[in-house]
Structure 1
């Protein structure tokens, strides 16, 4: 009788545990509930470099926790390069389960043997240059180069790279130094594609920027983000990231005073990647987290934070979708080739723009 009672109690406890783990509604992908049960046994996922104020990670955390209450979320905000350094220092006893960074840093981490392969939900939909062949990293969102135009200071909003060369934009343009900033490097490739170039050489883009300077249309080149200066009305046209423009428009008060323009000829986007860390302490929780980020729900969360999802064809709510016009002119940035062209950007810009 005692054994039967113990068996009954054990069965009920198992039932209660399974009930507590279950979430309402259909699975986001096949096997989600089974993976959640394994992740719940680990109880935590440690996510490196996902600062809550950047790219809407804070909301992503809340939604993940609401769906998977038995898995705690721990994170830090290190910066891309510092994240790779931290992973390397902890190689023998990894602390992180996942790591997020600019795509070039993901390649660096993979080359150092710090990552393990995992192909999440929607992995196969990504452009080839947005995913590692071994699944060691994949792009989760992108920051698209755009013209951010203060309409109080500019009468006619430019629509193309060619437009920016017009005399009416004299002393109006600001952009970031391509030698020392990631945004400046990405801008170089956007200008390059916009002026007939490709990933074999950045010379067309560098010659174009030199033309803007020679025409007197460049107000200055910045070494750090001029977002605050732009909000204050100190910059007529900033060639920067689309997400900063959308943030200024919808969150920081500029409203209809700003135009966010994807240049007509071509643009590129800065790809941001995430990875599963090799020998991380909570592998099932890591897989659950990475899958969630790449579902439609996760990708929509990025869009709500003003950054473009990486997965093509995600169906966004109408009010969010209208922020992101179709961009057939967007060229996915090949990070391997981009890294190989960094020295050419530095030398060509210095020679053509600074005359040194």
Structure 2
């Protein structure tokens, strides 16, 4: 059915559906100006959201709640991957097809540099750390993924509490992590190791030197080129330095239960920002803004928490179950992806040298 025909058919909708529409338009606002923006978005009728695959970070639940609140907006999506999303936006520069684009924040920086995205400051923008947003809102972080030790307690008698612990003989041939030269997770965990050993984005050598020591101690089981999630579930990895959300998913959704322990290293860790943007000259700008505001609202942020990722807004209180799964961890530092990206070549070289030297 065509969009115009759908609108004309509204009078034939069941009373329950009409009631939901009335509630969406007439209920309390999530933020000042929500109703007016919804009315403007209704005239467009659609929002195209790039790279928000429904099985990732609980986007499925955000889609469902958005549609329930704004029944006159059709929300469509694809699942491209961060770098591919930027490539697609660049190819469609003259005739953009997307209204919003979601990606790892390093790709968001690339999209802004190429002038593919537009400034927009959504609800909660000022609550974000400065390194989690572009000053004018060309991109902003919606959730983070945080480096943690994912520990299989069936294979490890005592879970390590910090970076220093992993160097102990009891973790010989126990630790797996991803290659920092070819994977985003590997790069992020190297900066986490840097923070945990006196460094930061300006001193990544502290992280590569630490990983070199981990190899020299004989504690590295393997360095992977792709995610070892399936191997972890099968019980092939004692300690995986990876993202917290993978551990939470293994523990609470994929059957590991208490066998999986998730540890945020006590010295320090980092939060990798995942960001979203309003696409420049997108076909449905008001619907795009409505979608972005919903994502950043209290409702949207709490839905992320239910999907095992930490919301970017620190002022949002989490549901009790999500808060219990992701307790406060003040040692988590927000990763400055602009600085981190500038250190990529240096990181690759230093890591290779540190590993070869051992």
TM-score, reference length from structure 2: 0.93
* Runs (5+) with no aligned partner, structure 1: 1-11
Query: Does 1:148 find its partner at 2:163?
Result: no
Distance 1:234 1:18, change over 3 A: closer
Cα distance in 1, alignment partners of residues 263 and 204 from structure 2: 23
1:1-356 correspondence to structure 2 within 5 Å: 20=21, 22-23=23-24, 25-355=27-357
3-state SS, counterpart of residue 145 of structure 2 = strand
Cα distance in 2, alignment partners of residues 273 and 19 from structure 1: 31
Cα distance in 2, alignment partners of residues 221 and 45 from structure 1: 41
Cα distance in 2, alignment partners of residues 339 and 306 from structure 1: 26
Partner of 2:6: none
CA deviation string 1:61-87 (max 9, x = no partner): 011000000000010001101100100
C-alpha deviation, 1:199, in angstroms: 2.0
Cα distance in 1, alignment partners of residues 327 and 343 from structure 2: 30
CA deviation string 1:173-227 (max 9, x = no partner): 0000000000000000000000011222211111110001000000000000000
Q: Contact 1:21/1:70 (CA < 8 Å) preserved in 2?
A: no
Cα distance in 2, alignment partners of residues 25 and 323 from structure 1: 32
Give the RMSD, CA atoms, in angstroms.
Answer: 1.5
Q: Contact 1:56/1:301 (CA < 8 Å) preserved in 2?
A: yes
Q: Contact 2:147/2:244 (CA < 8 Å) preserved in 1?
A: yes
3-state SS, counterpart of residue 249 of structure 2 = helix
Q: Contact 2:20/2:68 (CA < 8 Å) preserved in 1?
A: no
**Which structure has the larger Rg over C-alpha atoms?**
1
C-alpha deviation, 1:334, in angstroms: 0.6
C-alpha deviation, 1:110, in angstroms: 0.3
3-state SS, counterpart of residue 162 of structure 1 = helix
Q: Contact 1:201/1:341 (CA < 8 Å) preserved in 2?
A: no
3-state SS, counterpart of residue 41 of structure 1 = helix
Distance 1:168 1:19, change over 3 A: closer
Cα distance in 1, alignment partners of residues 92 and 356 from structure 2: 42
Distance 1:44 1:342, change over 3 A: same
CA deviation string 1:114-157 (max 9, x = no partner): 01000000000000000101110000000000000000000011
Cα distance in 1, alignment partners of residues 318 and 353 from structure 2: 44
Cα distance in 1, alignment partners of residues 192 and 20 from structure 2: 51
Cα distance in 2, alignment partners of residues 77 and 354 from structure 1: 37
3-state SS, counterpart of residue 173 of structure 2 = coil
Q: Contact 1:21/1:36 (CA < 8 Å) preserved in 2?
A: no
C-alpha deviation, 1:335, in angstroms: 1.0
3-state SS, counterpart of residue 347 of structure 2 = helix
